[in-house]
Chains A and B, each alone.
Chain A
Amino acid sequence: MPVISDIRLNLKKNDILRREGFRGYTRIRPEIKNIVLELLESADSAHLLEPTTAYEIYPVTGMDPDKVLLEGDAVVSGSLIPSTFPEAKELAAIVCTIGPGLEKQVTEYSQGGETLRAMLLDGIGSAAVDTLVIEVCHCIANEASSRGLQAGSPVNPGMPGLTITEQGNLLGLARAGDIGVNLTSSGIMVPRKSTSLILALGPKMETWTQADVCARCNLRDTCPYTVLHS
Chain B
Amino acid sequence: MAKDLCKTLADLKEDEVLAIVQEKLNAGADPMGILADASRAMEIVGNRFSKSEYFIPDLVYSGEILKKINELVKPKLTEEVGTKKGGKVIIGTVAGDIHDIGKDIVVFMLDVNGFDVIDLGVDVPAQKFVDKIKETSAPVVGLSGFLTLAYDSMKQTIEAIKAAGLRDNTKVMIGGGQMSDEIKKYTGADAFGKDAMVGVSLAREWTGTK
A interface residues (Cβ-Cβ under 8 A, vs B): 20-23, 27-29, 31-32, 106-107, 110, 113, 115-116, 118-120, 122, 158, 164, 184-188, 190, 192, 218-219, 222, 224
Number of interface residues of B (CB under 8 A): 31
Pick 14 A–B contacts, CB within 8 A, sort by A.
A21-B55, A31-B12, A110-B104, A115-B63, A118-B104, A119-B101, A119-B105, A122-B101, A164-B147, A184-B98, A185-B96, A218-B178, A222-B178, A224-B195
B window 99-114: CB within 8 A of A: 99-101, 104-105, 108
Q: Is B37 an interface residue (CB 8 A)?
A: no
CB pair B149 A164 closer than 8 Å: yes
Q: Mark B57-77, 1 if CB is under 8 A from A, else 0.
A: 110110110010000000000
- Of the candidates A20, A31, A122, the one having the most CB atoms from chain B within 10 angstroms of its own CB is A31
Distance A106 CA – B103 CA, assembled complex (angstroms): 13
Chain B residue at minimal CB-CB distance from A224: B56
Specify which of B60, B97, B105 is in contact with A186 (CB 8 Å cutoff). B97
Distance A21 CA – B195 CA, assembled complex (angstroms): 11
Chain A residue at minimal CB-CB distance from B60: A116
Distance A20 CA – B101 CA, assembled complex (angstroms): 12
Q: Given the known inter-chain contacts A116-B57, A164-B148, please indicate yes or no for A192 contacting B98, CB distance below 8 A.
A: yes
Specify which of A106, A113, A224 is in contact with B101 (CB 8 Å cutoff). A106
Distance A95 CA – B75 CA, assembled complex (angstroms): 52
What are the nearest 5 A-B pairs in CB distance?
Answer: A186-B96, A21-B56, A115-B108, A110-B104, A116-B60
CB of B10, distance to nearest CB on chain A (Å): 13
Distance A27 CA – B58 CA, assembled complex (angstroms): 10
CB pair B104 A188 closer than 8 Å: no
Specify which of B52, B98, B153, B177 is in contact with A23 (CB 8 Å cutoff). B52
A residues less than 8 Å from B60 (CB atoms): 115-116, 119
Q: Is B132 an interface residue (CB 8 A)?
A: no
CB pair B108 A23 closer than 8 Å: no
CB pair B100 A110 closer than 8 Å: yes
Distance A122 CA – B148 CA, assembled complex (angstroms): 20
Chain B residue at minimal CB-CB distance from A115: B108
Q: Given the known inter-chain contacts A31-B14, A187-B149, A188-B97, please indicate yes or no for A119 contacting B57, CB distance below 8 A.
A: yes
CB pair A116 B101 closer than 8 Å: no
Q: Is B194 an interface residue (CB 8 A)?
A: yes
Distance A141 CA – B116 CA, assembled complex (angstroms): 53
Chain B residue at minimal CB-CB distance from A123: B57
Chain B residue at minimal CB-CB distance from A114: B64
A residues less than 8 Å from B63 (CB atoms): 115
CB of B197, distance to nearest CB on chain A (Å): 12
CB of B7, distance to nearest CB on chain A (Å): 16
Distance A31 CA – B147 CA, assembled complex (angstroms): 32
CB pair B149 A186 closer than 8 Å: yes
B window 24-66: CB within 8 A of A: 52-53, 55-58, 60-61, 63-64
B residues less than 8 Å from A190 (CB atoms): 98
CB pair B147 A20 closer than 8 Å: no
